[in-house]
Each structure stands twice: as structure tokens, then as C-alpha cells.
Amino acid sequence: LTSVPLRLSHHKHDAKDEYQILPRPQEKAPDFKSQAVISRKISEIKLSDYKGKWLILFFYPMDFTFVCPTEIIAFNDRAGEFKEINCELIACSTDSHFSHFGWINTPRKLSGLGEMKIPIMADFTKSISRSYGVLLEKDGIALRGLFLIDPHGILKHVSVNDLPVGRSVDEALRLVKAFQFFEKHGEGKY
């Protein structure tokens, strides 16, 4: 198996794309329940599993593409730093859990993910991507959305990138720490 280039849409998206509602900070995070690959096993996960913890839910377009593995591996390799501050990570795409399983079982030198510490959640029905406002309906894939959810299930940060540009692990970590600092001390220097 090899990576394929991510096909970038240069067409105007249809009305369904234009009118999706992107959840905003201070709102309750949209609930989800789906199959995920965790430690090379397929398990069901849901938002309520993360109650009492900070959570970063990040969407990526599809398995076996060029940018996606580097970004997911970067988050995965630093999962311990997030865990130390009571924050969990979930990666999600509209691929099936079977595709995720295949990608995880493909060695990194062959553009696979290899061993993963974080759940890779399937959104094959596209309902999760749609509820988080990141689904490109016409293409059936998600934009690169990142959602920071607090221990009470409230959105604290929302960002969405176009397809070709990934997210910064350092910035995600900084955001979690900044919101945690604010929760504990009020306004201050982050």
C-alpha cells in the first residue's frame, strides 16, 4: 500500500456545504458514538467516555494520504504530553474502521500509521463530521477541524483548516494549557 495524493476540490461546494453549522466555543460539543481503532482493536467510543477530561477531537480528510499520516503521527507521538495534563486525543475521518485498521497495520515506511496510542474514530455515516460542521458533502470527506472540549463537554476552541494544511501539535498543547490556566486562575499570561 502506498499513499495517494489528496484530491483537492477546486469547485464551489453545494448548498449543503454552505449551510452546515459550525459549533462555536461556549456551546455543548455535539455528541458522538462510533467505532474506533484503539490499540489495534475495534471498540465503540462516545463523547461521554471522556467526561471529566479535556479532549481534542481532530478531523482529517482520509486515510492513506500524504499530509494525514504525518499530522496524526505527530499528535500520537506526543500523546503522553497531553495525557499528563488530563487531555485525551481522538482522530476522526469519514473512512470506515476497517480502513483505519488497515492503515494502522501498515508500517510507517510504507505510508501507514503503525502503532497508535490514540483512537482513530470512524465516521463512515458522516454524521459526526456533519454535526461538527466540517463535512464537505460533495466529496464525502472532512475538512481539518480541531475541537477542544472541556471536562464538562463544552467547546473551548474551534479551528478548521482547508485540506492541504495540517495543525500544530505545539499550538494544540498551548491551547489546552492556556484554557486550563484560565479555569484555575482566571485571566493571566499564558
Q: Which residues are catalytic?
A: 68
Beta carbons of 93 and 127 less than 8 angstroms apart: no
3 phi-psi bin (left φ>0, alpha ψ -120 to 50, beta other): beta
Q: Do the strands 87-93 and 54-59 form a parallel or antiparallel pair, or are they unpaired?
A: parallel
Q: List the alpha helices (DSSP H) in the chain.
A: 15-18, 67-77, 79-84, 97-104, 127-131, 169-185
DSSP state of 27: S
Question: What is the rounded radius of gyration, in angstroms, for the C-alpha atoms of the chain?
Answer: 16
Report d(CA 53, CA 156) in Å as an integer: 13
Amino acid letter for position 45: I
Rounded to 10 degrees, the C-alpha dihedral 13/18/19/20 comes to 80
What count of other Cβ atoms lies within 10 Å of the Cβ of residue 65?
Answer: 19
